[in-house]
A = this chain, B = another copy of it.
Amino acid sequence: MSLDLDATDRAILRALSEDATLKASALGRRVGLSQSAAWRRVRRLTEAGILGPRRLDLDLEALGFGVTVFLGVKLAAKGRVSLEDFERAVSAIPEVQTVEHVLGLYDYRLRVVARDLPDFERVLRRRIMTLPGVGGVEANVLLSEERRPGPIG
């Protein structure tokens, strides 16, 4: 299924995950190909589904959201609440950036942003704790974060 990539493909993936706005010409220069060859490779990788949609990272801090908290949520074992109910309710909270359904100590991991800690407390008390079926919540406040390209080298 996963078509095989040569070193040039991997170089393209590495370059594009750093800067998705790279033009085919600049990309080609960087990996040692002509503009059209680079462009054809990008199209091939896109059609293979390897290059996903170009997403835009908003600087939420510049927008006044300086607090990011990761919540580990354990659903109440007894309250036979469907996962769908929980997911629907959590998706309606604007401050929730990511909803991850996981297997382990928690059932869900949420990435929540807020303007400051008082604002976060409001979100936690009025939105999170009132979600259907919540059994326990554990929190970690983000101090700093580093994203890396992943195992494409």
Contact = CB atoms under 8 A, between A and B. Distances in A.
Q: How many copies does the complex hold?
A: 2
Contacts of A124: none
A77 interface: no
A64 B148 contact: no
A101 B150 CA distance: 18
Interface string A73-110: 00000000000000100010011111111111110010
B98 A58 contact: no
Given A19-B54, A64-B2, A109-B70, A141 B94 contact: no
Contacts of A100: 70, 142-146
Nearest to A87: B146
Contact of A150 (B1, B21, B60, B148): B60
Interface string A112-149: 01000000000000000000000000111111111110
Given A52-B56, A99-B148, 11 more contacts: A20-B20, A21-B54, A50-B58, A54-B54, A54-B56, A58-B152, A95-B150, A95-B151, A100-B143, A102-B142, A104-B141
